[in-house]
Amino acid sequence: MSSRPAPLLTTHRELALWCERQRAQGPLHFVPTMGALHQGHQQLIRRASQPRGQGIPSVLVSVYVNPMQFGPNEDLARYPRQLAQDRLLAAAAGAAAVWAPDTATIYPSGLEAVTRLVPPESLTGVLCGASRPGHFTGVATVVARLLALVRPDRLILGEKDWQQLVVLRRVVADLGLPVVVEGCGTVRQPDGLALSSRNAYLSPQQLLQAQALPRGLAAAASLAAAGERQAAPLIAQVRQHLQAAELQVDYVELVLPHTLAALPLAGPLALLAAAAHCGPARLIDHIFLMTRAPIVAIDGPAGAGKSTVTKAFAQRLGLIYLDTGAMYRAVTWWVQQQGVDPSDAEAVAPLLVGLDLQLGADQSVTLNGHDVTAAIRSPEVTAQVSTVAAHGCVRDALTAQQQAMGQRGGLVAEGRDIGTAVFPDAELKVFLTATVAERARRRAQDLRQRGFAVPALVELEAQIAERDHLDSTREIAPLLQAADAVELVTDGMAIEAVIQALVDLFRSRVPEDAWPGP
């Protein structure tokens, strides 16, 4: 990266001209900061620099110490300001420019006269907001103003300020702002202390004291891993560490990560958050508690491209790919090999006894010692898989096997009833679909690549429509979109764009601090 400082923008006109030029070349990603950049900020900038399937992004970093988010007795006057150093650090991490506006640019009508954006009390009256009234109104107002001036495609924020991230996601969603909000995991010192610009306030002795915060959270996480789910003992564990280090405790709370509502005990995903004063600095930190690794359920009709994108999505997030469709195809192939009528459930049932069905890490499929990876993709299997899958005996046998595979979590499964029947408690459910015409086009391309005869598109469309009807009307486990699933229509989307959309959905539910990925 560059050893020169990033170009500096200060006026509204300079910003507008620069953004116009960058948007003409590709995506624009934005990292808002208050300056005093450190390695945590640089990680945000590096993340913002990564392509998301729509070209190489330009990264803009803002440096603005927002007076509206500081209370009367807080550290506005002494907050670290080092713009020259910030420009060097930003450029080294990949920023294309640094924007350092003054207050007149951000609040043209004046700080007191500006319209203020007030997020929901349920999100701002707890945790940090309880002792910092008005803070998140200031954060929401300034970020909304920054977004209006920059108009980025993607907003990159740190998970270290988790409550701030939750509030800003809500603001963006409620206002329908055309920007993707992406969180980035907390960056820590080797001793575990989360990086913060305010760490500069601390003396060497105070830095040692401050280690009690991450250590206390880690001790509570160990307690939870040993089976403790009640909030009170977990909170007490953190408080004990903080008080032993003579830190002044602001709060220690166990809450739901996305609503910040208090929890009496830790559920599948809980946030244990704490704040404490160490000398002149107020420190915040958190840890996520999980009862198992995350599960993603991706359902949708045949030919929607589920297998292709799910494999890549699983690899990108370090999840195991569970191809349930391949399992049903393998059983269908076995039924055909045995010369059994696929529509005769009583004849199919005995074939399931002692069935040895294995899915390899390399996506290979073996059945009773036979490698059927290629055979199960034949048109003959495709034509009868819905019939076989509709039998209760088949659904029960394979659903039980899939649920056994998912007991520890850490997987993504795709099929027809994953979110409704197999993993109804999945952290993320997606209904991936496309129009019949689009799926017919993809099916023709797939058959051609595999060396099979390709029917006319109109015939493929008829086949796909018929399979949709069979899958959605069968009596047992019909193809349905789960009530809490997100529909993703992929017509016109490149594969990489679909994968990125899935990653964004996953990260909106499972933080990097909880599941870092590979």
Q: Which helix (H) or strand (E) holds 188?
A: none
Q: What is the pLDDT of residue 415?
A: 85
pTM value?
A: 0.89
Q: Is residue 269 domain-shared with residue 312, that is, in the same domain?
A: no
Q: Is residue 469 domain-shared with residue 494, that is, in the same domain?
A: yes
Reported as a single tens digit per residue, the pLDDT across 52-64 is: 878 899 999 999 9
Q: Is residue 209 domain-shared with residue 147, that is, in the same domain?
A: no
Q: What are the residues whose beta carbons fall under 8 Å from the beta carbon of 78, sequence distance 6 or more?
A: none
* The domain boundary residue, chosen from 250, 272, 290: 290
Inform me whether the pLDDT recorded for 26 exceeds 90: yes
Q: What is the pLDDT of residue 323?
A: 86
Q: Is residue 261 domain-shared with residue 367, that is, in the same domain?
A: no
The total of structural domains in the chain comes to: 3
* Region of poorest pLDDT, from 241-255, 282-296, 421-435, 437-451: 437-451
In a domain, 406, yes or no: yes
41 carries an active-site annotation: yes
Which residue out of 41, 135, 241, 286 is catalytically annotated? Answer: 41
Provide the CATH number for the domain around residue 101.
3.40.50.620
Q: Sheet harboring 411-415: ordered strands across?
A: 320-323, 411-415, 295-299, 428-433, 486-489
Reported as a single tens digit per residue, the pLDDT across 417-443 is: 899 989 999 999 999 999 999 999 988
* The domain boundary residue, chosen from 290, 310, 344: 290
Cβ neighbourhood burial of 462 (10 Å; 0-12, 13-18, 19+): middle
Q: What is the pLDDT of residue 243?
A: 98
Inform me whether the pLDDT recorded for 475 exceeds 90: no
In a domain, 332, yes or no: yes
Inform me whether the pLDDT recorded for 1 exceeds 60: no
Q: How many residues does the chain have?
A: 518
Q: Look up residue 289 and give its amino acid.
A: L
Inform me whether the pLDDT recorded for 358 exceeds 90: no
Q: What is the mean pLDDT of residues 332-357?
A: 94
Domain that holds residue 445: 295-507
Query: Measured between alpha carbons, how far is 234 from 217 in angstroms, rounded to an integer?
Result: 9
Beta strand extents in 40-189 (DSSP E only): 58-63, 97-99, 154-158, 180-184
In a domain, 242, yes or no: yes
Inform me whether the pLDDT recorded for 385 exceeds 90: yes
Q: What mean pLDDT value characterizes the chain? A: 94
Structural contact between residues 65 and 76, judged by C-beta atoms closer than 8 angstroms? yes
Q: Is residue 283 domain-shared with residue 299, that is, in the same domain?
A: no
Q: Is residue 284 domain-shared with residue 300, that is, in the same domain?
A: no
How does DSSP classify residue 351? G
Give the 3-state secondary structure of 366-385: EECCEECCCHHHCHHHHHHH
Provide the CATH number for the domain around residue 249.
3.30.1300.10
What share of the chain in percent tops pLDDT 70? 100
